[in-house]
Structure 1
Amino acid sequence: MGVYNLEILTEEIVYQKNSQQLTALLYEGFIESLEAAITLIEQKNYIDANKRLQKANDILRRLGVGLKYDAGIIAHQLDALYNYMAERLIEANIKKDISIIKEVLQLMTTISSAWNEVLKKEPQTAQNSFMQKAAAYEKFITTYEQ
Structure 2
Amino acid sequence: MAFGQGASAYQQVRSHGGVESADPHGLITLLMDGALERLVTARGHMQRGEIAAKGEVIGRCIEIIGGLRDALDPKVETPLVGQLDALYDYMGRRLLHANLRNDVGALDEVSTLLQKIRASWVQIPLEARRPAGAAA
Matches within 5 A, 1:15-54: 15-54=20-59
Deviation of the 1:59 alpha carbon: 0.4
Unmatched 5+ residue regions in structure 1?
127-132, 135-146
Aligned to 2:6: none
User: Is 2:68 the counterpart of 1:63?
Assistant: yes
* Cα distance in 2, alignment partners of residues 98 and 43 from structure 1: 12
Partner SS, residue 100 of structure 1: helix
Unmatched 5+ residue regions in structure 2?
1-11, 130-134
Q: Is the 8 A contact 2:36 2:111 kept in 1?
A: yes
**Larger Rg: 1 or 2?**
1
Matches within 5 A, 1:122-133: 122=126
Deviation of the 1:7 alpha carbon: 5.9
* Cα distance in 1, alignment partners of residues 52 and 28 from structure 2: 27
Q: Is the 8 A contact 2:16 2:30 kept in 1?
A: no
Once the two structures are aligned, what percentage of the paired residues are identical? 25
* Aligned residues between the structures: 122
Between structures 1 and 2, the one with greater helix share: 1
RMSD: 2.6
Instruction: Give the TM-score, by structure 1 length.
Output: 0.74
Matches within 5 A, 1:68-87: 68-71=73-76, 72-87=78-93
Q: Which has the higher contact order (CA 8 A, sep 6+)?
A: 2
Q: Is the 8 A contact 2:42 2:57 kept in 1?
A: yes
Instruction: Give the TM-score, by structure 2 length.
Output: 0.80
Cα gap change, 1:89 to 1:70, in 2 (>3 Å):
same
